[in-house]
Chains A and B, each alone.
Chain A
Amino acid sequence: MNIIKSYRKGIQEATLRPNMAVVLWMINFFFASVIYFLFSAMLKAAFGKSLLAADLLQKPNMDVLLEFLTSSGTSLGMLVTAGLVLVVLFFLAGIFVTGGILQSLVHQRDHEGFAQVFFAGGGKFYGRFFRLSIYSLILWIPGIIAYMIINGLLGILTKNPLNEQRTFYILLLRIAIALFLAFLIKMIMDYARIRIATQDSRSVLRSLLEAAGFVFRKLVKTLALYYLLGLTGVAAFLIYWGIRSTFSAGSSGTIWLGFFISQLFIASRGWLRIAFQAGQLRFFTLESF
C-alpha cells in the first residue's frame, strides 16, 4: 500500500512543481544546444550547399549519409569527444540539481521562493553528493563482478553454437541483467541521497551503506516502486513516439513542430526525475518511521 501511496505522492509532487521541471529542461537544453551547434556546423560544411541536401528533407539519402559518415571521421571524432565532455559536465551538474530537488522536496517552506531553496540545496549538498558518487564505487565494483560471474555462467549455456535461438535470447537476458544491476545501484544511490537530505547527515559512507541495507531489506517494495515510476516514463515515451510518428518533418513548420513535441517529452523526463525523488522520499519516510 505504501508503494501506491508513494507513487501517487511522487507524481503529485512533481506535477505541483512545474517550475522545477522547467529548470531541469533548461539545463538539459543548454548542454544539448552545444551539440546542436557543433553538429549543425559539421553538416553545413559536409553538404550544406549540395543539391542532395534538399533530398534529405523528404527521406534519408543513404549516399549522402554514408559519404558523410565515411569521410567525416575527424569531425565525428571531435563531436563524440565533445559529447563525452558534455555528458561528464552534465553529470556534475546533475549532482547539483539533485541536491536542489531534494532540498525543495524536504525543506521548502511557504515563505521561501523556489529558486532560493533549489539553488541553496544544490550548493549545500554538492560536496556530500559528489563524495557519494565516488563512494558508490563500492557498489559498482561488486555489481560488475557479480555481472561477470552471471555472464560466465550464462556463457556455459551458449557453448553449443547449434542453438542460435537460445544464444540470442541469452544475449537479451545479459542486457536485461546488466540494466537491472545498474538500476539497482542507482536506486540505492537515490535512497542514500534521500537519507542525507532528510537527516542532514554528513556521514556519506554510512548513508550509502544504510541505504543499501534499506533497499535489500525491502527489495521487492523498493523495486516495485522504482519500476512503477519507470513504467510511467515508458508510457510517456510511447505517447511521445505515437504523436511524433503521425507526421513527417518535411518542411520547416513540421520540423519545428516535431522539435517542440520532443522538448515536451524531454521536459517530461525532468518531471519524472522529480517524481522519482519525491516518490522514493515518501516511501523512505513511510517505511523508516
Chain B
Amino acid sequence: MKRVSICRSRDGYVNRKVLTKRIIPGILVFFLAFCPSLFAALSKPIVRYDIQATLVPQDKTVKGQEILTWLNDSDGPVTELQFHLYLNAFKNNRTTMRKESGGPSGRVKPAPEDWGFITIHRIRIQDGADLTPTMTYIQPDDQNSDDQTVMRVTLPAPVKPQEKINLAIDFTSKLPKVRRRSGFSGDFFMVAQWFPKIGVLWNGAWNCHQYHSSSEFFADYGVYKVEITAPEKFIVGATGKRIAEKKRADGKRSYTYYQEDVHDFAWTACPDFVELKEKFKLDDPKVETEMILLIHRAHLKQKDRYLEALKNGIEFYSKNYGPYPYETITLVDPAPGASEAGGMEYPTLFTSMTMSWMPKGIRMPEMVTIHEFGHGYWYGIVGSNEFEEAWLDEGINSYSEVKAMSKYYGVDRSMIDIGNLKIGDLAFQRIPVIGSGKMDPIVKNSWEYVTGGSYGLNVYNKAALMLLTLEKWLGEDVMAKIMKTYYEKWKFRHPRSEDFVQVAEEVSGRDLKWFFDQVLRSPDKLDYAIGSLNSEEVKEPEGIFDGKTPEAKDQRGKTSNKPLNKAYRNEVVAVRYGDWIFPQDILIVFENGEKIRETWDGRDRWKRFVYWKPVRLASAQVDPDRKMVLDVNYTNNSKVLTPKRAPIMKYALGFMTFFQGLLSFVSL
C-alpha cells in the first residue's frame, strides 16, 4: 500500500498519453525487474479477513459476515482450527477473565444489557461442509468450563502444508458495557476483540489462549478488509485506511477499511466524536502518514496535547527503531465515562485518555498516547506473544516510553510538572518495583502471576528498568543498535525472549546470558549498598615488641626517625543485599578531595576496602554513575562519614509546621 502512494505523489506536468502509454509502464517494468522486494508485503500473510459488520446501536450489537482465508504455514496437515471468541469473556461472572479480575467496581449489579458475548450462527467451509456442528469450547489454560473464549472446529479433511482454507462465518457480537478495553458507554462504541479470530499455529501446535485479565494479544499477520455500516450520525474510525464510503438508502453509511501487514482489527463509533486529520512527514527516516484524531467533543480543549504527543511518538519511534510503515494512525479519545476503553492498542489505531479538566502539568494524556502509539511497534509490528512473554511488548514499550517522555518533556518532570513538584516517568516506573515482594519473575505466563499488580510491575516496570540498566551498562549507542537490530530482524514476525537476548549478545559482542537469566527468570532484586564506613586514627605502637620498646613507625609499620603525623585506617564495606549479581563501581572520596575508584565483581555478600591515609574518609558510593537503574534502593548506595543535619532538619521542621497547622485547624 505504501508503495502506491509514492507513485501517486509524482504528479508532474506531463502529457497524459505519454504518461499512460510509456512512462508508467516503463516505471512499472523497471521496478518489477529490479526491485521485486519493493512490491512484496512486509509480512508473510497467513490470514485474510473480509468482514461486513453492521452496528445496531440500540441493541449494542454488531452483526457480521466474515470470510476468512487461512494458510497452513506449518510442515504438517491440520485437522482442526481454533478461534478466539473473546467477547465471551464478558458473558457471565464465571469466565476466566472475570475470575482473574474480580467483579465490576462498585456495588452496582450489572444490568442485563451490560453483558457481552459473541454468537456464531454458522461456520462453514466456503462452498463446502458446514462446521457448525463440530464447534466446541475449549479451555487450554485453566480448564474453566464456564469460559467460552476459545472455540475449536473439526475439519472434514486436513489442510495440507502451504494450502489455504476459506471459511464463511456468520456471527453477532453483543458488546458489553465498557469494561476492560471494549464495549459501549452511551453512544460510544469501542469495538475490539469482536470477531471470530483464528489462533496461531506455532511450532506445530495451536497457540490460542483464553482471554485473560492481563493479556489478549497474539495473532498472525495478514490482510483485513472490513466494511462497517453504522447510522449516519456516527463518526467511525478503524484500523487501516478508509478506501470507500457510501450512503445507503436506509439512512446508514458504510465505510470500507483496508490494511495489510497487521494482526488485528478494531474500530470505534460515536456521534460525539470530532474528527481531526493532519499529515505527518519526516525526512530522515522517510515517513509519511496521516494522523486521525477522533476526540470526544467534551475533550476538545485537549486536542493539541494529543496531537503533539502523537507527533512526538511517531518521530521518536521512527528515528530510534524504524520508519512508521502504515499510511494512517488513528488516535481515539474515549467518551467521558468510558475510561476503561482508554489506553489500549490495536494496529494503526489506539485509545488514549484524558479529562476535560486535566492540568497541563499532569502529563497522563501524553504518556498514554506515546505508550499506546509505541505498541504499534512493540506488539503491532514486532508481534511477540503477550500471553507468554508480555515483557516483550509491555516492557520494551515502557522502556521506549520512558526514553520518549524524557526526551520531549524532561527527564525529571516528564510525568508531573506543577510548580516545585516535578516527577519523571522513570521515578514512576521505579515505585512498584521498590515496594514489591519477590514473588514473580519477568517471564511467566500472564495469568500465572500471583496478582495483577505483580504482573504489572514485572512486565512493565521491572522489564523497563532492566533495559535501562542494560543501556547504562553497555552504552547508549550499543543499546540503540540492539533495539534497531531487534526491530529490523523481528518485524512482522513472532520473536521470543531468547531472540532478544541473542540480538543483544550479537550486537554488543558480549555474553549477556548471566544478566538476562537473573533478571528475566528470577523474582529477586538488585540492591547493592555501602554497609559501613569507618575512619580510625592509627595509634602509635605501645607496649613490648620483641622484648623492646618500639621505635616510631609510620603507618605502614616501617621504622621512621621522624615524629609521626596523624594517620587513619579508612575502611569501606560494600554490601550486596539483593540476590542478583552485577559488577559494581565504587567511588571513595577523602576529606582532602582525593578520589579512588574501585571495581568489585559483586559476587560475595560483602567486600572490604582499606586505605591507610593521613586524611579521613568523606564518603563512599556504589554505582556512582547510576548505571544500576534496577537497584531498588538508591539511598543506601552511599554513606558519608559526617552526616549533614540540615536536610533532615529541613524536612522534619517542615512536617512539624504542617502538623501545627493541622492542630490549629482542629482547635479553631
A-to-B contact residues, CB < 8 Å = 28-29, 31-33, 35-36, 39-40, 43-44, 46-57, 59-60, 62-64, 66-68, 70-71, 83, 86-87, 90-91, 94, 97, 161-165, 168, 186, 233, 249, 251-252, 255, 258-259, 262-263, 266, 269-270, 272-273, 276
Determine which of A39, A59, A233 lies in contact with B420 in the assembled complex, contact meaning CB atoms within 8 Å.
Answer: A59
Determine which of A36, A59, A70, A161 lies in contact with B652 in the assembled complex, contact meaning CB atoms within 8 Å.
Answer: A36
Determine which of A31, A49, A60, A164 lies in contact with B640 in the assembled complex, contact meaning CB atoms within 8 Å.
Answer: A49
Q: Is the CB of B649 within 8 A of A52?
A: no
CB distance from A267 to the nearest CB of B (A): 10
Q: Is the CB of B663 within 8 A of A52?
A: no
- What bracket does the count of chain B residues touching chain A fall in? 35 or more
What are 19 A-B contacts defined by CB distance under 8 Å? A32-B659, A40-B652, A43-B652, A48-B648, A49-B639, A49-B643, A50-B639, A53-B643, A53-B648, A60-B420, A62-B424, A63-B427, A63-B634, A63-B635, A71-B434, A86-B663, A87-B663, A259-B653, A262-B653
Q: Is the CB of A266 within 8 A of B660?
A: yes
Chain B neighbourhood of A59, CB < 8 A? 420
Given contacts A87-B662, A91-B666, A276-B668, contact A56 B653 (CB under 8 A): no
Q: Is the CB of A56 within 8 A of B652?
A: no
Q: Is the CB of A63 within 8 A of B643?
A: no
User: In the complex the two chains form, what is the Cα distance from A69 to B658 in whole Å?
Assistant: 17
Chain A neighbourhood of B209, CB < 8 A? none
Chain A neighbourhood of B668, CB < 8 A? 186, 233, 269, 272-273, 276
Q: B627-650 vs A: 1/0 string, CB under 8 Å? A: 000000111111110011011111
Interface majority SS (helix, strand, loop, mixed), chain A: helix
Chain B neighbourhood of A67, CB < 8 A? 434, 633-635
Q: Is the CB of A266 within 8 A of B638?
A: no
CB distance from A168 to the nearest CB of B (A): 5
Given contacts A71-B435, A161-B337, A163-B298, contact A52 B657 (CB under 8 A): no
Determine which of A36, A91, A164 lies in contact with B656 in the assembled complex, contact meaning CB atoms within 8 Å.
Answer: A36
Instruction: With a 10 A CB-CB cut-off, give which of A29, A50, A165 has the most chain B CB atoms.
Output: A50
Q: Is the CB of A164 within 8 A of B649?
A: no
User: In the complex the two chains form, what is the Cα distance from A59 to B423 in whole Å?
Assistant: 12
B-to-A contact residues, CB < 8 Å = 185-186, 272, 298-299, 335-338, 355-357, 412, 420-424, 427, 430-431, 434-435, 533, 619, 621, 633-640, 643-644, 646-657, 659-664, 666-668
Chain B neighbourhood of A233, CB < 8 A? 668
Q: Is the CB of B336 within 8 A of A162?
A: yes
Q: Is the CB of B646 within 8 A of A57?
A: yes
Determine which of A32, A43, A70 lies in contact with B663 in the assembled complex, contact meaning CB atoms within 8 Å.
Answer: A32
Task: Kindly report which residue of chain A lies nearest to residue B416, judged by CB atoms.
Answer: A62
Q: Is the CB of B638 within 8 A of A52?
A: yes
Q: Is the CB of B420 within 8 A of A270?
A: no
Q: Is the CB of B666 within 8 A of A63?
A: no
User: In the complex the two chains form, what is the Cα distance from A70 to B432 in whole Å?
Assistant: 8
Determine which of A39, A54, A70, A164 lies in contact with B655 in the assembled complex, contact meaning CB atoms within 8 Å.
Answer: A39
Closest 10 CB pairs of A and B: A161-B337, A51-B638, A40-B652, A70-B435, A269-B664, A36-B656, A56-B647, A94-B667, A262-B657, A32-B660
Task: Kindly report which residue of chain B lies nearest to residue A54, judged by CB atoms.
Answer: B644
Task: Kindly report which residue of chain A lies nearest to residue B413, judged by CB atoms.
Answer: A62
Chain A neighbourhood of B640, CB < 8 A? 49-51, 54
Chain B neighbourhood of A258, CB < 8 A? 653
Q: Is the CB of B335 within 8 A of A162?
A: yes
Given contacts A66-B430, A70-B431, contact A33 B656 (CB under 8 A): yes
Chain B neighbourhood of A252, CB < 8 A? 646, 649
Chain A neighbourhood of B434, CB < 8 A? 66-67, 70-71
